Structures are given as structure tokens and as C-alpha cells.
Amino acid sequence: MSRIPRIVILGAGYGGVVTAIRLQKHLNYNEADVTLVNKHEYHYITTHLHMPAAGTDKPENARVDISKLIDEFKIDFVKSTVAQIRPQDKKVILEDSTLSYDYLVIALGGEPETFGIPGLREHALTIRSLNSVRYIREHIEFQFAKFKQEPQRKDYLTFVVGGAGFTGIEFLGELADRLPKLCREFDVDPALVQIVNVEAAPSALPGFDSELVEYATEALKAKGVVFRLSTAIKECTKEGVILANGEMIKAGTVVWTGGVRGNRLLEDAGFETMRGRAVVDAELRTKEHDHVYVIGDCSIVLSEQGKPYPPTAQISIQQAEACAHNLIATIRNTPLKEFSFTNRGTVASLGKGDAVGVVGKYKVKGYKAAMMKKAIDIRYLFIIGGLPLVVRKGL
């Protein structure tokens, strides 16, 4: 290659933005041309989205302009939507142009997994982007306004959350905090409001520490959440959800948090995928093309036991750091590093001032866990934007 190599990064979520920031910091002038492509001119902090979705925080607090995170003298930012990835030609087709690359980083995140359940795509809401959570927040308020016009329609005040994984549980905590405030604002009797969680597994947070699951479930029940465990949603309609036993829950709002899959563009590009997530080698490159790296929710990394690691921000950030290292190593012709995941634990919020978590060998719950969650959020803001971003957003 006589000219300087071109690196294109697709997606400015956790994986993409951290890769770009690392490259910007460690590449020397004229070592590579780096382009970052993202649908929006902002990065959204996905791990905050349950709050603006319920309306307990403003969407702006989960939004950071990309121009504040990268140095546009070092990284070209292209605001556009990726339409197709053509690894055979080393090209990416955007909605309005085409980019060529020597090395590609795909960090396009995931999409809601609906398992082919009829009606979910059409009628359920999902927590997946800033725009989707703005919609959920407005939709929830609108149900109260509609109820005031048609007081016989108690179903407007029923809120179903499908799935009690971490997203479902964190959203339930915020929703249970928000609805009493909406009752006061709209002069609605709180006894008329129902929050129902429907979970297919016998317990919430399947696979998580049982003592903490019990704590989380009891804390949410105390705030009014009704759990329907061992109960699968089999259909979603305009009127609500139909359960596996045929029962219907009429609801004005159905939020689906039943799981994620990889971005469909990866399957379309012909990469080997499992639930839309590309299988990568130890250096995070696709099996088919060693100049294509895939990281974050659209990649799959297996643990030593051969089980896929859950898609999290934590693993996305670590992958981004390894990916940036390997891109620089490739350009400098030095050895690549194998990716290895260090699990720093999991903390999930249960609404204001309450959370549960496992950090190392310690279990935490209550206010202490909520403070730990805040510390994790602040650490991330520091990684991407240093102290100025922490001061602007986190304190």
C-alpha cells in the first residue's frame, strides 16, 4: 500500500466512539485516514435510555455531540446511514455516498429481537435509541391525557413490559417512579394504574444472583409492579398482549424488552452470524475477511466455556480498546493482541436511589449499589470526554 491506509468505523455507540478516540490518541500524524460514520450527529448513552423512556430524566442527558468527543482535524465524521456493507469490494454504501476502506470496524449495535412473535414489530415500543425513547415518554403521557377524555378506557392506564432482563427491570424501576407523578399531574387515581411485567422464565433476571433477584423483585413489587413469571407473550395486538395460555392483557402501552440481536446489515453482508451477531476470531476480525473487525452488540465472543458473553457496554468498550490496538499494530506491522474479556461486574438500577449488583465477589444492593451505578456512569463519561464531560453531564 503506497498511500496511507483508510480506516472506516461504522457506528458511534460505545464500540465505535471508543475505537475512534483511541485511534485519535495513539496514531501518529499521517499514519492513517480515519472516518467515523453514524446515523446521528450525536452519540447516545444507551445505558441511560431507560430513564428518558420513562420520563424520569431528559433525553438531552443521554446525548453527547460527536463533535465534542472527537478531534475533527484527526477523524473525519460522516453523518449518514449505512445501507450496505460490501466486504468483497472493500466498500460501504451509505444512503447518499460510497466509502472505500482498507480496514473496516463494524460497531453498528443491535436491534430488538422479536423471535418472530406476531405483532411485536407493529405494536410494541422498544428502548433502542434516543428517538425511540422520546416516543415512549410522549406515548406514556398521552395515555393519561386520553384516559381523561375516555374514563371508561382503564386499559389506557395499563402498562405492560415484556421481558424481565436487565433492560426490563431497569425500565420498570423508572416507570414505577414516574407514574405516580403523572397521576398527580393528570388528577388520576393511582389505584387505576397497572404495571405488569410478563417474563417467560420462572424468575426475573434469569441467571443472575438469586438473592439479588429476590431483592429486586420485592423492591419493584413494593412500587406496584405485578410480575407474571413463567408466562410468555405469544402475540401483540393494537389492544395489548396475548399470553401463551391464551389470556389477553388489554394495555395502552406495551414496551418490549425481550432481548437483542445483531444489526441485520451483517447478515446481509454475508458474514457468519448467530442471532445477527458476527462470529469473530481472537483478534476480533471476521472469519471471512481479516481486514474487517466487528465489535459490540453486533459481534459474538465466546467465553472459555464456549458460551457467548452477553452483549454489554462493558464488553463493547474493552473490544474497542483491543480493536484500536490491533489496527495500529497492523499498520505498524507489530504483533496483534488476542481479545480477552475482564468481567468487572454488573449493577442494575431499580429506580431512584436503589439498585442491585455483583462487583467482583461482592454483592451490593440499595443506596450503595445505586451510588456504584453512578460511579460506573461517571467512569464512562470520563473515558469518552474526560473531566469536562463528567462535569457537564455526570455531576
So which residues are the catalytic ones?
Answer: 170
Residue type, position 109, single letter: G
Residues 6+ apart with CB under 8 A from 2: none
- 317 binds ligand NAD, rule: CB under 6 A: no
Q: Cα torsion at 162, 183, 251, 110 (round to 10°)?
A: -30
Q: Site map for ligand NAD, 70-109, x if CB under 6 A?
A: ----------------------------------------
Using CA atoms, how far apart are residues 175 and 136, in angstroms rounded to an integer? 11
Find the binder of ligand NAD among 16, 59, 87, 165 (CB under 6 A): 165
Q: 196: closest CA among 187, 188, 204?
A: 204
- 40 binds ligand FAD, rule: CB under 6 A: yes
For the record, the C-alpha cell of 224 comes out as 406496584
14-33 residues in contact with ligand FAD (CB under 6 A) are 14-16
Find the binder of ligand FAD among 27, 75, 106, 108 (CB under 6 A): 108
Nearer to ligand NAD, 170 or 354 (CB): 170
- 198 binds ligand NAD, rule: CB under 6 A: yes
- 260 binds ligand NAD, rule: CB under 6 A: yes
Using CA atoms, how far apart are residues 180 and 55, in angstroms rounded to an integer? 12
Find the binder of ligand NAD among 64, 188, 232, 323 (CB under 6 A): 232
Question: Please, how many CA atoms are within 13 Å of residue 378, restricted to the half-sphere of its CB?
Answer: 11
Return the CA Rg of the chain: 22
**Contact between residue 300 and residue 308 where contact means Cβ atoms under 8 Å apart:** yes
- 46 binds ligand FAD, rule: CB under 6 A: yes
Give the length of the chain: 395
Find the binder of ligand FAD among 24, 143, 158, 312 (CB under 6 A): 312
Strands 292-294 and 346-349: unpaired
Residue type, position 156, single letter: Y
221-280 residues in contact with ligand FAD (CB under 6 A) are 263
Find the binder of ligand FAD among 107, 324, 350, 364 (CB under 6 A): 107
Nearer to ligand NAD, 224 or 259 (CB): 259
Select the binding partner of residue 162 from ligand FAD, ligand NAD, none (C-beta < 5 to 8 A, by kind): ligand NAD
Rounded to the nearest angstrom, the gap between the alpha carbon of residue 249 and the centroid of all alpha carbons in its chain is 27
Using CA atoms, how far apart are residues 394 and 60, in angstroms rounded to an integer? 12
- 213 binds ligand NAD, rule: CB under 6 A: no
Select the binding partner of residue 164 from ligand NAD, ligand FAD, none (C-beta < 5 to 8 A, by kind): ligand NAD
- 10 binds ligand NAD, rule: CB under 6 A: no
Q: Report DSSP state, residue 391.
A: I
Nearer to ligand NAD, 37 or 195 (CB): 195
- 104 binds ligand FAD, rule: CB under 6 A: no
Residues 6+ apart with CB under 8 A from 359: 344, 345, 347, 372
108-147 residues in contact with ligand NAD (CB under 6 A) are 117
Q: Cα torsion at 249, 253, 257, 260 (round to 10°)?
A: 110
Q: Cα torsion at 205, 211, 214, 219 (round to 10°)?
A: -100
Select the binding partner of residue 107 from ligand NAD, ligand FAD, none (C-beta < 5 to 8 A, by kind): ligand FAD
Using CA atoms, how far apart are residues 253 and 270, in angstroms rounded to an integer? 37
Part in contact with ligand NAD (CB under 6 A); list of ranges 57-65, 88-96, 161-169, 211-219: 161-169
Select the binding partner of residue 81 from ligand FAD, ligand NAD, none (C-beta < 5 to 8 A, by kind): ligand FAD
Residue type, position 294, single letter: V
Q: Which residues bind ligand NAD (CB under 6 A)?
A: 117, 162-168, 170, 198-201, 206, 232-233, 257-260, 310-312, 346-348
Q: Which residues bind ligand FAD (CB under 6 A)?
A: 11-16, 37-40, 46-47, 49-50, 81-82, 107-109, 127, 167, 170, 263, 296-297, 311-314, 316
